[in-house]
Amino acid sequence: MIDCYCDFDPPEFWSHRTPVARKKHRCEECGGTILPGDRYEYVAGKWEGYFDVFKTCERCHDIRRWVENNVPCLCWCHGNMIEDCKEAVEEAAFRAPEETKGLRFGFLRRVYVRNKFNQSRSPYKRPQSSSGR
């Protein structure tokens, strides 16, 4: 059994919900757009004396849940969640390479799908080359 110890102070208080967006928001993790009608994670709380609000898109929230379900210990902070998840996956793969075959691939595949989704929503899409290359 692995002891899980996270080296940061928990919030003094916090509230969590997963509403449906009524207006456009920006995901704190990937910078992607949360459009009206999208479900997202809304967290409000007080950390180290400061009140803050974090909005996380459904795709980033799903990545975090997947990592939580597949690694023994995940310590993460809002705004750095994807990097923290990546470090947890790397640590698990380092500690138990045989038991974690495919773990990195599963994580990176989810990040790739999220990035492609965000790219498809971006108003600044790259124009397709007309030269046929």
- Residues 10-51: tens digit of each pLDDT: 888 999 999 999 999 999 999 999 999 999 999 999 988 999
- Tell me whether residue 126 is in a domain: no
pLDDT in tens, 50-82: 999 999 999 999 999 999 999 988 999 999 999
Rounded to 10 degrees, what is the CA torsion of 4, 13, 63, 121?
-160
Provide mean pLDDT across the span 98-107.
Answer: 92
Q: In this structure, is residue 131 part of a structural domain?
A: no
Q: Quote the pTM value.
A: 0.83
Edge-to-edge order in the sheet of strand 13-17? 13-17, 40-47, 50-57
Q: Is residue 91 part of a domain?
A: yes
Residue 63 lies in a domain: yes
How many angstroms separate the Cα of 72 from the Cα of each of 3, 6, 24, 91?
A: 9, 12, 35, 10
* Gap between the Cα atoms of 10 and 20, Å rounded: 27
Q: How confident is the model at residue 121 (pLDDT cuts 50, 70, 90)?
A: confident
Share of the chain above pLDDT 90, in %: 68
Domain membership of residue 129 (yes or no) is no
- Asked if the structure places residue 38 within a domain, the reply is yes
Q: How many domains does the chain have?
A: 1
| Distance of alpha carbon 54 from alpha carbon 43, whole angstroms | 5
DSSP count for the chain of H helices, then E strands:
3, 5
| Domain encompassing residue 37 | 13-120
**N-term to C-term CA, the chain:** 53
Q: Is residue 105 part of a domain?
A: yes
- 35: enclosing H helix or E strand: none
